[in-house]
A = this chain, B = another copy of it.
Amino acid sequence: MSRTELHDPDIALHSGCDGEIKRPPRERILNSASELFRTHGIGAVGVEIIAELANSNKMTLYRHFGSKEELLCACLRMHAEKTTEIWQSLEDRYPGDAAKQLRAWVEEVTDVVFSDNSACLLANVAVEQKDPNHGIHRIIADAKEAYRVKLTDLCRRAGVAEAEQLADALTLLFEGARIISQSAGPDGPHQKLKQSCLAMINAFSR
């Protein structure tokens, strides 16, 4: 079984990693690495391809990130950071109205699942890198926990008595949709994510 099976190598050409204004190489590399890791997995992506997609080269990559692993960690941290932006965004859109924010959250995650962004980098990395003592797992677990705290808080502010239970249930639905969208066909159970979330919220709102 060949190890490198980037089934569409065309993606390696300009994939939004080099905007009109040339961003610094480090940033470009980080972006292309994130993209490739998420869409093709870690093992299937070589550092050379990453550098190419970033319109850079292997040496520059290694000057900024000491190893493929460090690069991966940086990707995970960036990913985790980006993820937290949603809470501020929700608050901005519906200030003080947690119930509306919770509904907006459902819309957001539904959009994610239906986008080409449905695969979760953190979860996929956890699948490929099973060694639990690995530093990577700390990053992943911390990110997931932070998300959990935030979502629970949102549920509580929305007036849900069993906020932890609802938040965890919604998380399971979301994560389930993300993973099944990768294994089932395009019409798989993840199509029912939105209705499932709403049903669950309904069940916990009284």
Least CB separation from A72: chain B residue: B1
Q: Are A172 and B168 within 8 A (Cβ)? A: no
The answer to whether A185 touches B43, judged by C-beta atoms less than 8 angstroms apart, is no
Report which A residues bind B (CB closer than 8 A): 1, 3, 5, 7, 39-41, 43-44, 67-69, 72, 119, 122-124, 126-134, 140-141, 144-145, 148, 164-165, 167-169, 171-180, 182-185, 188-193, 195-196, 199-200, 202-204
User: What are 16 A-B contacts with C-beta separation under 8 Å?
Assistant: A7-B132, A124-B127, A126-B182, A130-B182, A141-B184, A141-B185, A144-B184, A168-B191, A168-B196, A169-B199, A175-B180, A178-B179, A199-B204, A200-B200, A200-B203, A203-B203
A134 to B203, CA, bound (A): 41
Flag if A122 contacts B200 (CB, 8 Å): no
Shortest Cβ gap from A202 to chain B (Å): 7
Given A126-B182, A171-B189, A172-B180, the answer on whether A68 and B1 have CB atoms closer than 8 Å is yes
Q: Are B173 and A41 in contact (CB under 8 A)?
A: no
This chain: copies in complex: 2
| CB neighbours of A129 from chain B (8 A) | 5, 41
In the complex, chain B residues whose CB is within 8 Å of the CB of A192? 164-165, 168-169, 172
Question: In the complex, which residue of chain B has the Cβ closest to the Cβ of A124?
Answer: B127
Counting chain B CB atoms within 10 Å of each CB, the highest count among A67, A131, A172, A199 belongs to A172
Q: Is the CB of A43 within 8 A of B40?
A: no
Pairwise interchain contact B196-A7, C-beta atoms closer than 8 A: no
Q: Which residues of B contact A184 (CB under 8 A)?
A: 140-141, 144-145, 148
Instruction: For the complex, give the distance between the alpha carbons of A175 and B203 in Å.
Output: 21
